[in-house]
Each structure stands twice: as structure tokens, then as C-alpha cells.
Structure 1
Amino acid sequence: MRIWLLARVHLGTVAVLFVLTLSACLLVAGLPRAMQASYDEALRRSLTAAPAVQADLTVAVESGSREEDLRERAQFDSRARLWREIVPAELRPLTTAPGHMNAKTTLTPMTGTGGQTYLNLGWLSDADRRVDWVQGRAPGAPNTMRYEGETIPVFEAGIVEEAQREMDLKVGQTKIVGENDYAAVKIVGVFRAKDPGDRYWSHNSDILHVTKLQPPGGLDFEKHTTALISDAGLTALSGEGRHLTYRWILPLDTGAVGALAAPGLQAAVTEFDRVVGLQSTSTASPYHVETGLPNLLDGFLTGLFTAQTVMYLVLGGLLAVALGVIVLAVQLLADRLDHPLTLARARGGSLGQVAGAAAALTGLAVVPGAAAGYALSYLVPGPVLPIVHAGPVIVVLVAVGFAAVRLALLHRTPLHSRRDDVAAGRASAKRITLEVLVVVLALAGAYLLRARGLSASAGQDPFLLVVPVALTVAAALVTLRCYPYPLRLLVRLASRGRAAVPFLGLTRAARARSASVLPVLILLPALAVSVFAAVVGDGISGTQRLASWQQVGAPIRMTSEIEIPADALERVRGTAGVEQVVLAQTGRVQVGYAAERAEAIAVDVAQWRSLLGDAPIDLPALSDGGALVSPELRGRGTLEIGWQARLKLATRGVISSVPGFYTQGKFMVVPLSVQIRPAVNTLLIKGDASVSELARLVPSATVESQEGALRAIQDDPLTSTVRWTLVVVTGALAAYALIAVVLSLVIGSSERARAVSFLRTLGLSERQAQRLTVLEILPMILLTALVGLGLGLGLPSALGPGVDLSSYAGDLPVGDYSLDPFLPSALAAGLAAVAVLGAYAHTVISRRRSLGAVLRVGDLS
């Protein structure tokens, strides 16, 4: 059979099939690549944003005796080489960067301070490249001295500038440390980090800063710092009399991490810890791995699994709808081939030749389209996943297979004949039972998913992926079975009228056979998934806005660790764009007379409420002399707190959180007027002033804006991927829905035109023919649209706890799935408009036919 001739004759249909295949393969192959690239970027950002001490791998061991001490750098180097040799293969590409080693003591009290000041000793393998000495000199070799009748080691050490200020240490001083096993520390220099912002210092923050800790039950803070010693100091540093830990840090190359490898990395870290432990020479202090990488990966994978679940749902629906539209186009092509293939069968053509010709012609359209879409997908950045290769193959196989099977079944016998003008027969009991079973299982699955939530096992929950598909199939079956009944009621009402068009149009719609309405049911999953995507996207957007307000608590918030001067306040008030400024003071207050502490903010709540305006957050009113307290402080009646002075405040209400400040623990909100002299360190600002300008006016303050917090939430790679994918899928499905309506109109155009032509011979006018066509096709389209919209609106609630989108909304649960009515109205109006335009187009085409020719063709059938 001459395939090229058939392709030239049916060039329009072949071109439509080519374009549909190209777009479907581009979406199916390109979207997963873009999504995976964003997943990789999200993981890299997550690991980069985390402190290096959590993301990196650290091998540590405690020394408890002189036999376990490491006295030379060479001993550290040999173990460093060993750790890199035994790193699992999954981690090896990520640990290629050079690391460093350190030795530190902890909880080394300064003698005579009553346990309030701790001066630890620390050695860094690369201190010469990390610090600059701004006073004195670098430490040298240790020596000894006599103290309380004993000879003790004297370590030469350097301290950071912050320790010099906070702990009143000076160059030249010698401090005794320890409680029984004494040692002396001679301060010989003061250093400053060359790059304080380097991730390196995350592992050594105790050397770079003074740590203040409040012991349980204590009112005063302990101060801890670590002084830097030289390589030579290792010879005298022992774990026999103090807490000494050796560490080897293997930095993680966050730029080489991929989301696909994340689950394997968790197992690799566990294996590395096991292998490292086998190298231990002492059971009392074995080698072990210190890292927060598994926890970081757990948090990322939690958000990733949710993102993948949503993506699987919408992309699965997109693929199903795309395949359905392609099948419609193949059906249109098959209808065009019906007459020549019937002649071929009548002249002795075999069934294989007929099926082969249909498959070849379909392949001539879909194979180049699939290849073009597959090639264009490589323009999308991202890793190549199996679906990138499998998606176009599936599209081609479905299209070619449907064409071959459909025409093979249609032309089983030569000169086949069929009647399209009668109602379909009743379905068998088995079929009805099967359909009822599908509906019951779908409803039961939705109920169980809400009742049991997600599976506790890691990875995707198959139950979550099956339930939406089952609900869609159930809705389609119910629609197919039930739509004729309301139409028949309308037919009865129309039969009582004098006009023939409503009766004829509704009758033809009610008697449409299942095979003829199935193409239109592609609209159901298309609308359901697109509305689901729109609902989820709208819910995420609303919750993101709420989260940004809860994070900041005002349009702009300025916080400072010290009091903001009065002249700075006036400059802020005079800044362009500032409309209102609310003063506040934050601090940690003593509750009662014991060691109990609570966070507090003193503010004029009425002014704060006025500043918020129509923001999605609110605060309860607060009268003077009272306080709003957290749930942990409820039920105490009048509270007495220590803050500048002793204050007695009656509890006026319980508040679960203070937007922009406190979300858990013990906290309270008090009126600013209760302070004798408010030490304002926080400003709540309304307006569109420049954040950078405000930060310049008050250098000691940190300035945050609600808009900046919202952008930070929205710019997260996972969040932005979910949102733009939902937008793309919504647009694609809307387009596919409209194409499905057009194709369904074109597929039935010949039969519809023949029927209209017959009626035209009986006196039917052109205007009546147009109304007849609209009444025939519009009921099914509108009913399917309503069911699809209802299913899409109900899917988020039906899935319930199975889709936790808090990772994309500032860690707030997304529960308000409200939808702007514009989208369903636009979709319904668009579909109705296409249907009406299609009806007019068909009547125009039918008008061009010769009625005599139609009658003769009808006589032959």
C-alpha cells in the first residue's frame, strides 16, 4: 500500500498528530529533567546553608591515657590517609577537597574562677594559613614550672580578640587551668581570622568566639574559649588529666551532590562509621564519625518525597491526557483511512496489510514527532533520567499500537458494516459489577489514605499514587453511566414543546454510544489534574504569604542586640517610605525569684495591631498592666518578673506564638508602658522603605522585610520547581482539553453533517442546524467539565495528610485549599466557546455539501 500517497492525502491530520506527539514528548522528557535539576540545586543549597560542622564528615576519638595520645603531626597525617582510603565509594567523589585536623580540650576550668570561666587548649593543623597575629607572636614550644610543689607544663597559647575583650585576658599573662591535674597557659599573642566567614570556622567556632552558657538552675553565664597552641605543644598535651579529643575533618563538596544519590549517601555514612570503628585500638575510646549529614538528608528527602509525589500526580495526569489526545488524533486518522482500507480488504488485502498500513502511516507522523520532542528536551538543563528515554517510546508505542489494533478489529471481515444510528445495548452484569467495584475501591482508598496517612517506610507511598488514579477512573465511569439519565428527563420536557430542535439535539446527545463519548472524557482527567494543580498552587501561595508574615511580624522589622539611640530612631522615622514606626523592647526576663527564665517583648499592642492592617496575622488586644503569655506559662495568675525592675503583671490571655519573635517555649508580651525607661532595641515599621537604607542608618541592627522573607521562601529551588511545574502543567492540560474538544468535534463531523443534511431536506434552517449541533455536543462537554472541576477541587481534601506541602510554605501546613472562581469559570467558558465555535464550523462545512450527494450516500448505507 502506498503510505506516502496516503500521508500526502491526509497531510493535515498527519501534521496534527506530529505536533501533538512532539509537544507530549517534549513535556514528558523535558519536565522531569528540569525538576531533577532543581532537586539537585535544592540539595546543594541545603547542604551549603547548613554549618560545615553538620555537613562535613569528622572522624573523632577521645584520648584517655598517655598511650592513646598523639604527640606528632605525622601520627595525624597517617590516620588522615587511612580515613580517605576507607571512605565508601558513594562518598569518595564528595570528599576530594583537602581537610584539616585538630586536637582540643573541653571543660578545662580556669583555676580560682569557681567553674565560671573555662580556658581550653586547641591545635589546628593549618593555623598558619587561617589566622593573622595582631598582637604578640605565634605560640612556641611548651616548658615547665613549679606550682603547689609540682612540676606542671606551661603551654604558650594565643587567643582571639573577642576572648581578650570578653574574658579580660592580656598578652603576657599566665593562667592556671585544671582542678587537680594542673597546667599553665601563657598568653603570648592575639590573633584574628583571615576569613571569619569561611565554612572552616564552623568546626572551630570555640577558637574564634567566646561561648556563653547558662548552666541548669544557674543565674550567671559560664564563659568558654579555646586558646591556640603550636605543633610543639602537642608533645605536652595529654588526655590523661583532661578531656582531649582528636578530629580529622573531611569537607563535603556540596557542588558534587545529587538528589538521586541522597538515599545512598545515608547508608554510606553509616558504613563509613562502621569501618572507622574497626580501626580502633581501644574499646574505651573507639574512633567514630561525627556528622549531621544523615539528618540533613532526612530533612531534604522529606520535602523531596512530597515534591515528587505532587509531581508524579500532575505529570502522570499530563501523560495520560496527552496520550488520550494523541489517541483521538490517531482515531481521526483511522476514520479518514476507513474507506481506502475497506476497499483494500474487499480486493483481497490481508488483515496484516491493513493493520500494517495503519501502523506505518501513524508511525510516519509520531516517530519524527517523538524524535524531535526527545531532541528538544536536551535543551532543558538537568540529568537524564530513565523517563526521558522511556516517555517518547511509550508515546510512540501507544499511538502505533492503537492504530494497528483498532483498524485490525474494525476490518476483521471484508466489507464490514455497522450501525451508528442506534442506541448502545445494555452493559452486561459482569461489566456493571466491575465498574461498581472500581468505584467502591476508589472511595475506600481515599478514606483509608486520610485515616492512615502516609506509609512510615521511606520513599514514595504507592497507595498515594494509586488513589488519585482510582478516583479519576471512578468519576469517569460514573459520568459515563449516569449522564444519559438527566438528559432523558430533559428530552421528555423538550418533547412537550413545539420546537423540534431541542428534542432532536438532546435526543441525539442522550443516545450517544459509549464509544462516541469516550473521547470527550479525556476532559475529565485534564480538568481534574489542572484544577488540582491550580488549587495546590494557590494554597501554597497563600500559606507562603502567611509564613512570611509570621516570620517577620511586620512589613519591616529592625532588631538590635543593643539599645537603638534616640537620634537613630528619628532618622528612621524620617526615611523615605516609612509610614509608621512601633517601638519595642525584647529581652530575657526572670520569672519569679528562682532560675526560671522567659523571653519577653514589651510593645504597644494596639499600635502593632494597627500597623498590621489587613495582614493574615493578628494579635489579641492587651490592656495596660497585663500580659499575654505562652501556653507553658498559663494558669499562673499574676506573674512577677525581673526586667529593669520587679514587675507584677496579670495574665490577660494565652497566645501560641508572637509573629516575628517566638513560636515555642516560655514567652510573654507586655505593654511597653510598664518599663521605667524603655530600652528600645526593636522597631516595627510600616511602609515601603529601602531595607538597605534602614540597615545603613542603624549599623548595629538587623533589618528584615516581609517581602524579603516571602521571596526567600518562593526562591527555594524545591518550592519554585513545584510552583512553576504546576503552572506549566495547568496550561498544558487546559490546551489539551481544548484540543480534545476540537478533535471530538472533527471525529464526529461526517456523521453529524450527514444527519444535519438529511434534516435540512425536511426544512431545517441553517440557524436551527447550528443550535442542533450545539445541543448535541454541549451537554456532555459541560457535564464532563463539571465532574472534572469537582474532582480537581476535591482531590486535595481527599488526599488529606498524604500530601504535606509545608516544606514549600515556610514550614506551615497547607490546609486552606480555596480557589479563585476565575479559573473554573474560565475553563468552562473556554470549553463552551470552543464547542459553540465547532458547531458553527461544522454547519458551515455541511452547508457546502450537495444534499443530493448526501442522500445517495445515505441510501448506500
Structure 2
Amino acid sequence: MRQPAVAPWVRTRLRTAPGAAWALALLVALTSCLAAAFPRAVEDYEDAGLRHAVSEAAPERTVLDLTMAEPGLTLLPGKRDEMVRGASTKAAYRRVVRSLSAPLAVDAAQSSYGLRTTKALTAADPWLPRPDGLPAALTLSAQSGLAGHATVVRGRLPRVDGQVTADSRQVEAAVTAATARALHIEPGALIHVPALMSGRVSLRVTGIVKPRDPEGAYWAARPVFRTPALGQTVDMPPSTFWRAGLLLAPDAAPVLLNTDSAPEQFWQLAPDLGALNARGMPRLKSALTYTTDGPGLIKVRETTGGDTDAATGLEELITGYQKLRAGIGPVVSVAAYGTGTVAVIVLLMAGGLAAERRRPELTVLRSRGGSVRGLAGRLLAETAVVAVPAGAAGLAVALFAVPHGRWLPAALGAAAVVVLSCLALPVRAALAHRGVQVRGARDDLARARPSRRRTVAELTVLVLAVAAVVALRRRGTGDGGDSLVALAPVLVGVVAAFVLVRVYPLPLRWLARPAGRLRGAVGYLSLARAGRATAGAGTAVLPLLALLTALTTAAFGGSVLAGIDDARDRAATLSTGADARIESSSPLPSALAGKVARLPGVREVSPLTVRYDAEPGQGTRRIPLAVVDPASYARLSARTGLGPFPAHELTTTTARAGTPGSPLPVLASPSMRDVFGTGPFSLWLDGETVVLRISAVRAYTPALSQDFLVADAKALARRVGAHDKGSEAIADRYRPNSLLVTGARVDGAALRETAGSGVSVRLRATERARYVDSPLQTGAARVYSAAVVIGAGYAALSLLLALARAAPERGALLARLRTMGLTRRQARRLLVLEALPQAVLAAAGGALTGWAAIQLLAPGLDLTALALATGPGGDSPAGRLRTDSLSLLLPALCVVALATAVASGQAWWSGRRGSVRELRAGESL
């Protein structure tokens, strides 16, 4: 009778090697946590960026405004009054909300409805202020929810006594505190507006209120009811008058039908920001289109009982956000794919290390009749007992650490890590023990010949890499990219790894020959050992592939971050023109430039005059003109990198002579060159015609953006004032109205204090900070940086695993060599020299691969969306990928240093343990 096993396989193996089990559990838990946290982190910053974009936009752009002009015009007067009262409008509001298509959700707290005027009504009351003798223009609204959105400061809220109809001539109203201050309104004041046919409608102000949320959609969608403003007529010169709003009780709406104001019934629906998410944007756009221009509008009209129109700017806002997200997503995917590839390689190496550690045991089992299927099943169960709970723990930590986002992608990421971890050891062992082996054959990387299958696989990867690079260079990431494009840096690293593994034996052979003629044996032995691979030549690709992929991703990521900083610095510099800019609409004091130049941290001050009144000889277009000192301005342009030019291009002999009729040289933008050409042209300036000629063309210049001309101040002043006896008055017009300040550390507070009031002071540092205020950009940059750091950590782990796989053999080698007289110093040199070839190969190859990937992919990668949070202007330079030397060299040096440190540490530890433990009968090199 067959006896049962004394102890189960899994329990026995876990008790035999608890350290390896805990190490595997830690690796699986960490990797599954990162795999689960990544999609949730991406969703978190994308949703936060969307909510930020909507909340920062003006509420009049985000609300869904449903309006019905002249409601109930064909109804009898009594029916029409009933239609616009609060109860009927509220019932229609509820039906409208129910008719909306998901995922369009309404924020009921900020939404409102009622009846309002569309034409301002003139208030002829003499006690109302009249800035230029014009009466105030009032907008009236019988809007719902006033009690819930305002606090009564004085008086009480308006109400209805009895039943208000279109024939009523007096109702109650309320105004905000800002309106009351501007128009001198007190509780009890009586304001009169003209009625529709004859007479007037009286509005008695019963209360002054203060908005509880002035920036909310209830108030900000129609700012006139919150804050009064000065309007201007179209006459020349224009006259000003007050625009203000008065709020009526909802049941007082019928009185507005008796005014000549084209009243409209409205339902102002504010979007629910909590329901917005980035992945639902296509469905939300479809829902908006369905309501504003599709069948949903028919439902709305049936619900409201009239010809209702729908309008919103939310769809345009979503489109802009989607374009921004489409530009950022592929850049982040590059880091995600790179880090994910390195993590996969580490998991495979961990399985390979376990299989190599247990090769003697599995060889014995196979020789005694164990089947490949049985061994693989037992190893799978043994690994799953450790990996599944570790993966579940990592998933739980990820869900707790990143609470926002869907759980399904996170669970799938963690599950993929667990499956890969469970299969790495059984599959590797099954492939290695398909046939019964008594002893493994010697594997020498320098003598190995790649198989045909490996050659086909390498050629396939090469074709994919070329296709990815070509696709990225042709299409770029602006169209959203795809997985193949995002994998381009990884595929470049894979191809480089295959090439380096094939080339690696050549230098070993070249160096081994002269090393064999040296007196000592350490050099020759280290080179001979460097050519060995304890698990086959094919397996030697994995650690090199992990290092190259991580180094390429780190170099690529560092260059991306450097490109982002460069784009932001350049955009900020282009906005201010220097480190600081002082400007005024009138000439600045003559002594101000000297005072600013003496401030701490200021290097140079470049005065200039910016004018917008120059007109070409033909046409009415006005040309921006910067009048500068050529020498100072040339130094400024060179220092900022914004269109540097030689100063003599603006200071010719004819210009200094001021010869009438000879053209003055000017610096121009490409658009001005296209308009005026390269020949002489004339401008009308200060009552005279000035002949100019474009001597140089630059895309950017510190003084102005987009269209510009730059001329010599002294030459232009002499030319304009040549026929004018009041030339001093003409020259006074060219006194500087702007100062461009450069310096390492410009003190903004001191600069503002020196400039005084009525002068604008802008700092480059402040302008640069504008580009990092969006959660979409900051979140993407944070995730990208984290992915690069994590990839570097996994690369270091892969290097440690590669060194740990050969550690037992190296320990036995050192023990035997010490019995033959090898000193500790020589042992350390041996291990260091043995580890250096692959480390140097990986470091040099990684730096070279990173540089090549950047050069290949830079033309197709646009970093503008990731760099400029507020969106680049039409004159802003695009963010381009550029090589960052620190990102190329520092990770490569760290690889060499880590390999050297590990080898030295192993030599030191082996020396402490002694040789007796390592010398066992039957072992060999």
C-alpha cells in the first residue's frame, strides 16, 4: 500500500527557504502596489485638472443656459402670467433636469430659473448717480433661490403682496451691497423704469443683500446682479453710465412683461463638478450636443412649452481640455512603459534566480522520474501561496494610498503582476529541465553562438523599434499617439541590448590575449570570468536589458523634465523680455533708470520706448514699434537669447547722420518682413512720414511679442524732428516708457517701491509660476518623475539580482584561490574587475542609447502642453526635447559605482567567512 507524504511540498519548501519567500513576497507586494497605483494616480490628476479647468473658467462659459424669448406671447394675459410665475417655472425646471442625458449632471445648489430682462431699462430718477449725465441702465430678474444665496444686510427680502400681474405697477426688489454703494441706494428707495405702453413701473428696494458665494454660478453667471459696472456709449468721445441689476421675488415675474425689455424665461443649469471625470468627456460632449443641437432640445422645448434655445461654453472648454490631455498622455506613457518594462524584467530575473538556485534539486528530481508538468505545478503552487497574498496586500495599499480612481484597472494591474510572478519560476524551470540532465554544460558568452530563433526575435524587435521611431517622428504625440509610439524608447533600449550582447565578446577576446602575458593572474582570470554566464548566453541579456531600458528611460525622463523647465523659462522670458519689466503708458522719470540700476542684484537696465501709433503709408493698420538704444538692447537680446543681433545693424552711418530721405534700418519680425518686404517703406509717425528699411529679421525680441519693428531711438528722434522747430518736444515723446531689467536676483518688492505708483512691474519669476498651477500639468510631471525614480530603483535591483546569481560561485572561487595564496586585496580586485566589464558596458550603452533615443524622438515630441499650464500663446516657443547631460551621465556612473560597491562588499564578506565552509567535496568551478 502506498504511503502518503510526510509533509506537503509547499509547506516544506517555504520552511526550508523562508528568506527567499519573504523576498519574493516583498517584491510582488511592491510591484503590485505600484502597478495598481499608477492608473489611479493618472485618473486622479486628470480629473483634478478637468475640475480645475471648469472651476477656473468664467461661470457664464460653463453653465447650460436655456432661454425662451417672450414666453407665452400667444397666450391670453392670465395664462401668460401664470406661465412665468415661480411655481410654473420651477415645475418646468424639474422636468428639464430629468430630460438631460447622462453623464450631464446639474448642481442644484448653484442652478436657478426665472424671468429676466434682456434690454436694459433706463432709470430716470434724478437721485441716482450720473457720471456723464446719462441715467443708469438697470437689468431686472425674478430669480429663484435668493434667500439661499444671499445674506440680508439691511431691510428684508422682496416679497409679493397679493397677486402680481402684467398690469401691476409696483413691486419690491433687492440689490447687493456693492450696487447699493455705487448707486446710493437705501432700503425704501423707489426706482422707476418705463412701462411697455405708457407710464412707469415702480421698484421699491426693501433690502440690501450680500452674496454668500460671489464666485458661484448663481451670481457669477450674470455679474451685473452682483457688481455694478460702468458702461460706455459708442459716441466719440464716449460717455459713461452705470449698469446695475435688481432682483425681484419669483412670483413678481409677470410685471416684467409690462416693460420694454424683451424679457426671457431662463433656466440656468450649473454643471456638477463632482460628477466630472476625464474618461467621461466624450460621453459628456455627446450629451451636451444632444441637448443643445440634437433631439434633447426637442424634449426641452416640449417640457418648457415654447421655442427654447440652449447655449453653453462647456463643450468648447472640454474640447480644449481634451487637446491638452492628448498632448500630455503620450509623454507620461513613455515613462510608464519604460518603468513597466524594467519591472517585468526584474520579476523574470527573480524567477530565473530562484530556478538557478534550485537547479541541483530539480535536476535530481527529474533524474528520479519527476515529470516536467508535475514540477511546474508544484512550483506554481509554491509561488502562488506567496505571491497571491502579497499582491492582494499591494493592491490594498494602493487603494488606500490613492483613494481616487476606478478600482478595476488597479486590480487588473496587480493581477498581472501576480500572474507574472507565479509563472516566472515554473516556466523557467520547465524550459531548463525539459530533458534529464546530470550536469550543466559550461556556458561561455564569448564562445556562444545565437540560435536562429533568437536572431528572428531580435530582427522582429528591430523592425518594431524602427516603426515606432518613424511613427513618432512623422505624427508626434500631438494626435494622442499609441502604444507603439510610447514604446519607442523602450524598443530602442531593447535593440541596443541585443546589439551590445552580440558585440560584447569581441573586446573580451581582444583584452584576454595581452592580459594572459601579464605577470599576475588576476587580470586574465577576471576577463575570463567576465565572459562566463552561469545560466546561458540568452539569459545574460535580461540584466543588460533592464539596465539599458532603465538608463534610457532615466535619460529620456531627465531630458523631458529639462525640456519642460526650458520651455517655461523661455515662455516667461518672452513674456517679460528680461528678469523684470517696468512699464507705463506715459514716459518714465529720467532718474528712474539710474535708481533701478543701483538696486542690489540688478546687472543692467535697458531703457526703451514702446509705441503703438505708427501707421504704414497705405492702410489703417497700426504697427507696434520699439525705440531702443542699439548697444544696450543688443546686449539684452544676447543675454536673454531672444533674437540676438549685432548692434551695428541698427546704427549705420546714414542713420547717425540723419540724412533726410535715406531709410533708417530696423529690426523686424517675420510677419513684418512679409508685409513690407526688404525694400524701403514708410511709416506715418508724429505727423511725418519716416522711411525705413528692414536690416535684420528675428522671430523674437525682448521688447515686443508677435508683430514688431525695432528702431534706433536717437536716429528716429532726429529724423522726425528734422523739419520741426519744436524738436525738443518731439524728442520728449521718445523718452523711455519701459525699463527691461536683468540680474541674478532681482528684488521685486524693492523694484516696486523704487518705481512708485502708477507703474507696472512684472517679474520673470512670477510669470514662470503661472505655468505650473494646473493639476493636470503638475500631476503629470509628478507621476513622470516618480516613474523615472522607480525605474532607476528596479534597475539597481536587477543589477543586484544579476550579481547575486553568481555570488555562490564567486564565493567558492575565492575560497579555492585563497588556499593557493590569493590575498584579500587581490580577491577584491578580481571581483571588481570581473563586474566592471558588464557594468561599464551597460553604463556606456545606456548613455549612448539614451542620447540616441532623444535625438531620434525629439522632432516628434512636443512638451508644450506639459510645460505651459495656462496654454502657450501664439508667440510662445514650443517645448522641445533636448539632451540633458546630467541625466545621461549620472545614472551611468551610479551603475558603475553600484557594481563596484557590491563586488567589493562580496569580497570583504567572503574574507570574513573563511574558506572551510566554501570547500565542499564534489563542487567545481
1:83 aligns with 2:96: yes
The 1:858–1:131 alpha-carbon spacing in structure 2 relative to 1, beyond 3 Å, is: closer
Match of 2:806 in 1: 748
Of 304, 324, 328 in structure 2, the residue corresponding to residue 303 of structure 1 is 324
**Structure 1: distance between partners of 2:710 and 2:547:** 54
The 1:386–1:505 alpha-carbon spacing in structure 2 relative to 1, beyond 3 Å, is: same
Instruction: Give per-residue Cα distances to partners, 1:610-645, cap 9 Å, x unaligned.
Output: 6788445466555687765554444544543466x6
Opposite residue 795 of structure 2, the aligned amino acid is: A
**Structure 1: distance between partners of 2:907 and 2:832:** 10
For residue 537 of structure 1, report the CA deviation from its aligned partner.
0.9
1:523 aligns with 2:565: no
**Structure 1: distance between partners of 2:704 and 2:279:** 36
Match of 2:48 in 1: 41
Instruction: Indicate conservation of the 8 Å contact 1:633/1:666, yes or no.
Output: yes
The normalised TM-score by structure 2 is 0.75
The 1:599–1:415 alpha-carbon spacing in structure 2 relative to 1, beyond 3 Å, is: closer
**Structure 2: distance between partners of 1:17 and 1:143:** 81
Q: Secondary structure at the match of 2:538?
A: helix
Q: Secondary structure at the match of 1:515?
A: coil
Opposite residue 390 of structure 1, the aligned amino acid is: L
Instruction: Indicate conservation of the 8 Å contact 1:38/1:721, yes or no.
Output: yes
For residue 841 of structure 1, report the CA deviation from its aligned partner.
3.9
**Structure 1: distance between partners of 2:817 and 2:805:** 20
Instruction: Indicate conservation of the 8 Å contact 1:105/1:121, yes or no.
Output: no
Opposite residue 567 of structure 2, the aligned amino acid is: T
Instruction: Indicate conservation of the 8 Å contact 1:450/1:799, yes or no.
Output: yes
The 1:368–1:278 alpha-carbon spacing in structure 2 relative to 1, beyond 3 Å, is: closer
Of 428, 431, 456 in structure 2, the residue corresponding to residue 433 of structure 1 is 456
Q: What is the 5 A alignment of 1:533-682?
A: 533-558=557-582, 579=602, 588-589=612-613, 591-592=615-616, 595-599=620-624, 614-617=639-642, 628-634=667-673, 635-636=675-676, 637-641=680-684, 648=690, 650=692, 654=697, 656-657=699-700, 659=702, 663-664=705-706, 671=713, 676-677=732-733
Match of 2:284 in 1: 265
1:209 aligns with 2:229: yes
Q: Secondary structure at the match of 1:596?
A: coil
Instruction: Indicate conservation of the 8 Å contact 1:691/1:705, yes or no.
Output: no
Of 393, 404, 422 in structure 2, the residue corresponding to residue 400 of structure 1 is 422
Opposite residue 576 of structure 2, the aligned amino acid is: V
For residue 550 of structure 1, report the CA deviation from its aligned partner.
1.8
For residue 684 of structure 1, report the CA deviation from its aligned partner.
4.7
1:315 aligns with 2:304: no
1:124 aligns with 2:180: no
1:390 aligns with 2:412: yes
Instruction: Indicate conservation of the 8 Å contact 2:327/2:478, yes or no.
Output: no
Opposite residue 257 of structure 1, the aligned amino acid is: L
Of 22, 31, 39 in structure 2, the residue corresponding to residue 15 of structure 1 is 22
Match of 1:380 in 2: 402
Opposite residue 538 of structure 1, the aligned amino acid is: A
For residue 744 of structure 1, report the CA deviation from its aligned partner.
0.8
The 1:500–1:409 alpha-carbon spacing in structure 2 relative to 1, beyond 3 Å, is: same
Match of 2:834 in 1: 776
Structure 1: unaligned runs, 5 residues or longer:
111-116, 145-152
**Structure 2: distance between partners of 1:182 and 1:586:** 54
Match of 2:922 in 1: 857
For residue 699 of structure 1, report the CA deviation from its aligned partner.
6.0
The 1:206–1:603 alpha-carbon spacing in structure 2 relative to 1, beyond 3 Å, is: farther
Opposite residue 112 of structure 2, the aligned amino acid is: G
**Structure 2: distance between partners of 1:467 and 1:657:** 33
Opposite residue 536 of structure 1, the aligned amino acid is: V
**Structure 1: distance between partners of 2:198 and 2:681:** 51
Q: Secondary structure at the match of 2:66?
A: strand
More divergent stretch after superposition (535-544 vs 841-850): 841-850
For residue 405 of structure 1, report the CA deviation from its aligned partner.
2.0
For residue 540 of structure 1, report the CA deviation from its aligned partner.
0.8
Match of 1:147 in 2: none
Q: Secondary structure at the match of 1:59?
A: strand
Instruction: Indicate conservation of the 8 Å contact 2:489/2:553, yes or no.
Output: no
Q: Secondary structure at the match of 2:23?
A: helix
**Structure 1: distance between partners of 2:638 and 2:915:** 70
Opposite residue 893 of structure 2, the aligned amino acid is: A
1:720 aligns with 2:778: yes
1:442 aligns with 2:459: no
Instruction: Indicate conservation of the 8 Å contact 2:117/2:139, yes or no.
Output: yes
Match of 1:150 in 2: none
1:791 aligns with 2:804: no
The 1:17–1:139 alpha-carbon spacing in structure 2 relative to 1, beyond 3 Å, is: closer
Instruction: Indicate conservation of the 8 Å contact 1:484/1:511, yes or no.
Output: no
**Structure 2: distance between partners of 1:761 and 1:158:** 102
Instruction: Indicate conservation of the 8 Å contact 2:582/2:759, yes or no.
Output: yes
For residue 399 of structure 1, report the CA deviation from its aligned partner.
1.3
The normalised TM-score by structure 1 is 0.80
Q: Secondary structure at the match of 1:856?
A: coil
**Structure 2: distance between partners of 1:165 and 1:602:** 45
1:732 aligns with 2:790: yes
**Structure 2: distance between partners of 1:757 and 1:446:** 50
Opposite residue 40 of structure 2, the aligned amino acid is: R
For residue 533 of structure 1, report the CA deviation from its aligned partner.
1.0
Match of 1:505 in 2: 526
Instruction: Give per-residue Cα distances to partners, 1:435-488, cap 9 Å, x unaligned.
Output: 2233133213312331233585xx553342343443333223222323223333
Instruction: Give per-residue Cα distances to partners, 1:120-154, cap 9 Å, x unaligned.
Output: 774323397789999xx99999999xxxxxxxx99
Instruction: Indicate conservation of the 8 Å contact 1:62/1:246, yes or no.
Output: yes
Of 112, 137, 143 in structure 2, the residue corresponding to residue 99 of structure 1 is 112
The 1:363–1:528 alpha-carbon spacing in structure 2 relative to 1, beyond 3 Å, is: same
Q: Secondary structure at the match of 2:692?
A: strand
Match of 1:148 in 2: none
For residue 29 of structure 1, report the CA deviation from its aligned partner.
2.4
Instruction: Indicate conservation of the 8 Å contact 2:643/2:699, yes or no.
Output: no
The 1:454–1:106 alpha-carbon spacing in structure 2 relative to 1, beyond 3 Å, is: farther
Residue identity (%):
25
**Structure 2: distance between partners of 1:131 and 1:422:** 85
The 1:619–1:253 alpha-carbon spacing in structure 2 relative to 1, beyond 3 Å, is: farther
For residue 269 of structure 1, report the CA deviation from its aligned partner.
0.9
Q: Secondary structure at the match of 2:901?
A: helix
Instruction: Give per-residue Cα distances to partners, 1:389-424, cap 9 Å, x unaligned.
Output: 122222221111111222234444566432134566
The 1:578–1:344 alpha-carbon spacing in structure 2 relative to 1, beyond 3 Å, is: closer
For residue 737 of structure 1, report the CA deviation from its aligned partner.
1.9
Opposite residue 209 of structure 1, the aligned amino acid is: A
Of 800, 803, 809 in structure 1, the residue corresponding to residue 861 of structure 2 is 803
**Structure 2: distance between partners of 1:801 and 1:187:** 68
For residue 360 of structure 1, report the CA deviation from its aligned partner.
4.1
The 1:160–1:367 alpha-carbon spacing in structure 2 relative to 1, beyond 3 Å, is: closer
Q: What is the 5 A alignment of 1:236-251?
A: 236-237=258-259, 247-251=266-270
**Structure 1: distance between partners of 2:69 and 2:397:** 57
More divergent stretch after superposition (257-266 vs 1-10): 1-10
Opposite residue 640 of structure 1, the aligned amino acid is: L
**Structure 2: distance between partners of 1:670 and 1:843:** 73
Instruction: Indicate conservation of the 8 Å contact 1:629/1:651, yes or no.
Output: no
Of 29, 40, 45 in structure 1, the residue corresponding to residue 36 of structure 2 is 29
Match of 1:486 in 2: 507
Instruction: Give per-residue Cα distances to partners, 1:520-559, cap 9 Å, x unaligned.
Output: 2221211111221111111111211111222233333455
Opposite residue 269 of structure 1, the aligned amino acid is: L
